[in-house]
């Protein structure tokens, strides 16, 4: 089954072509990061307009690269939610129109289901069941993944996502947006031990997170202080240490609570070197495996949406044909998803 996948939930326009028999044939992502940078965050209206500009050229580009004619498609999958309403509507309307014109099924996919299943695109895929840590600018969650449509939320953030905390702290240290990678590079030059920041909820006894207090602690630390290069690096180092300590501790707790052997990390923060080092060490100590899918598939992309669409359609024995009416779900709880 040949599925076109479309992702437009936030600030990346992602398109991919996935074939159930041959795997991922082509994928492309256009990142809007540079466009939003001058505003210090994603501007929803600009995001929608840019998706409108980019999406069809990207679809043509992916089909051309895979040397596949539009008529060969068996289905179109798109991100139905959660995300920015206007941005979601762009992907949904293009996908549903294509499906209607081609008389093939269209299927709306939950963005986080895409992330959870994306490790299956790697050359050495994990086997169900596994634990997934989703750490991006928009989400911080630990999930138990038992199969397609079989997800249990183990814990999540009560407020800011880990990437959001990185970005907000980076802004306090005047590192631009999104500041996660810059903050992490600066932290490598910092001295550990000069500053100590709290490790929120590390001893909470559950698998939930909270990162907004950490950002407030950095505000307090920064206030009235001469922010020379060394001080900024030391603060970055203390911040990164705190986030990594909490994420690693909760992953270990999740592995112990579930008794599972495999941990998969998805989302942009999964690129963080110190997080990877901490998780690798924890895995060695506690006897579980940890995997990091290729970064281009960890961050938002169309491939994970195409894959989730193909798996759901296969399990359900086909999908709804485009019938000209559809909806998007800017808010959509993953644990309300039905099994295919
Ligand atoms: O998954 P992603 O590309 O997009 C969504 O949030 O949907 O994640 C982006 C987030 C941003 O907050 C960015 O600052 C963070 O991941 N990030 C990092 C690193 N690389 C990206 N955070 C810490 N260390 C990094 N090396
Ligand atoms: Zn995402």
Architecture in CATH of 2-116+298-336 = 2-Layer Sandwich (3.30)
Instruction: For a ligand 1 pocket test, name from 269, 275, 297 the mutation site with the most ligand atoms within 8 angstroms of its C-beta.
Output: 269
- Examine the pLDDT at 173 and tell me if it is beyond 60: yes
- Examine the pLDDT at 175 and tell me if it is beyond 80: yes
Look up residue 280 and give its DSSP letter: H
Residues making up the chain, counted from first to last: 340
Taking only the tens place, the pLDDT of each residue in 259-268 is 999 999 998 8
pLDDT of residue 279: 98
pLDDT of residue 178: 84
Strand-pair partners of 263: 131, 290
User: Among candidates 187, 164, 175, which has minimal Cα distance to 41?
Assistant: 164
Q: What is the 141 CA–ligand 1 centroid distance (Å)?
A: 14
Sign (positive or negative) of CA dihedral 235, 279, 299, 209: negative
pLDDT of residue 335: 78
Q: What is the 301 CA–ligand 1 centroid distance (Å)?
A: 13
- Examine the pLDDT at 325 and tell me if it is beyond 60: yes
**Which fold would CATH assign to domain 128-292?**
Nucleotidyltransferase; domain 5 (3.30.420)
Phi then psi for residue 59, to 5 deg, are -60, -45
Taking only the tens place, the pLDDT of each residue in 216-244 is 999 999 998 999 999 999 999 999 999 99
Domain ranges of the chain: 2-116+298-336, 128-292
Beta strands in the chain (DSSP E): 2-7, 12-19, 23-31, 75-81, 106-110, 130-135, 140-147, 150-156, 262-266, 289-291
Both structure tokens of 229: 């290069």
Taking the model in full, what pTM does it have?
0.92
2-116+298-336 and 128-292: same fold?
yes
pLDDT of residue 145: 96
Taking only the tens place, the pLDDT of each residue in 16-54 is 999 999 999 999 999 999 999 889 889 999 999 999 999
User: Among candidates 86, 108, 83, which has minimal Cα distance to 95?
Assistant: 108
Q: What is the 105 CA–ligand 1 centroid distance (Å)?
A: 33
Sign (positive or negative) of CA dihedral 323, 324, 325, 331: positive
- DSSP for 132-180 reads EEEESSS-EEEEEEEETTEEEEEEEBSS--HHHHHHHHHHHTT--SS-H
pLDDT of residue 320: 61
Number of the ligand closest to the Cα of 32: 1
Pair 198, 217: CB distance under 8 Å: yes
pLDDT of residue 79: 98
Taking only the tens place, the pLDDT of each residue in 94-126 is 999 999 999 999 999 999 999 999 999 998 899
Integer Cα distance of 154 and 258 in angstroms: 9
Integer Cα distance of 89 and 320 in angstroms: 18
Q: What percent of the chain has pLDDT over 90?
A: 87
Number of the ligand closest to the Cα of 275: 1
C-alpha distances out from residue 191 to 163, 244, 277, 281, Å: 22, 16, 17, 21
Instruction: Specify the higher pLDDT residue, 253 or 317.
Output: 253
- Examine the pLDDT at 136 and tell me if it is beyond 60: yes
pLDDT of residue 336: 80
């Amino acid at each position: 089954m040949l599925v076109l996948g479309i992702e437009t939930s936030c600030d990346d326009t992602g398109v991919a072509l996935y074939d159930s028999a041959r795997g991922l044939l082509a994928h492309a992502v256009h990142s809007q990061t540079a466009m939003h940078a001058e505003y210090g965050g994603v501007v929803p209206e600009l995001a929608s307009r840019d998706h409108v500009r980019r999406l069809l050229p990207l679809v043509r580009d992916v089909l051309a690269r895979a040397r596949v004619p539009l008529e060969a498609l068996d289905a179109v999958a798109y991100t139905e939610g959660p995300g920015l309403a206007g941005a979601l509507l762009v992907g949904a309307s293009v996908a549903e129109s294509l499906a209607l014109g081609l008389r093939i099924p269209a299927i709306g996919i939950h963005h986080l289901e895409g992330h959870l299943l994306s490790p299956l695109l790697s050359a050495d895929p994990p086997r169900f069941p596994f634990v997934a840590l989703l750490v991006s600018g928009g989400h911080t969650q630990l999930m138990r993944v038992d199969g397609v449509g079989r997800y249990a939320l183990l814990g999540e953030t009560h407020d800011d996502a880990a990437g959001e905390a990185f970005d907000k702290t980076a802004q306090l240290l005047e590192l631009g947006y999104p500041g996660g990678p810059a903050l992490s590079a600066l932290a490598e030059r910092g001295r550990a031990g000069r500053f100590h920041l709290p490790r929120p909820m590390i001893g909470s006894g559950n698998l939930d997170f909270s990162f907004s207090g950490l950002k407030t602690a950095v505000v307090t630390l920064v206030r009235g202080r001469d922010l020379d290069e060394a001080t900024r690096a030391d603060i970055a180092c203390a911040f990164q240490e705190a986030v990594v300590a909490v994420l690693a501790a909760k992953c270990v707790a999740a592995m112990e609570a579930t008794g599972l052997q495999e941990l998969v990390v998805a989302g942009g923060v999964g690129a963080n070197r110190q997080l990877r080092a901490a998780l690798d060490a924890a895995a060695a100590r506690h006897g579980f495996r940890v995997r990091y899918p290729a970064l281009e598939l960890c961050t938002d992309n169309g491939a994970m949406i195409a894959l989730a669409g193909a798996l759901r359609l296969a399990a359900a024995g086909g999908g709804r044909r485009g019938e000209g009416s559809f909806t998007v779900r800017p808010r959509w709880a993953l644990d309300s998803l039905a099994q295919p």
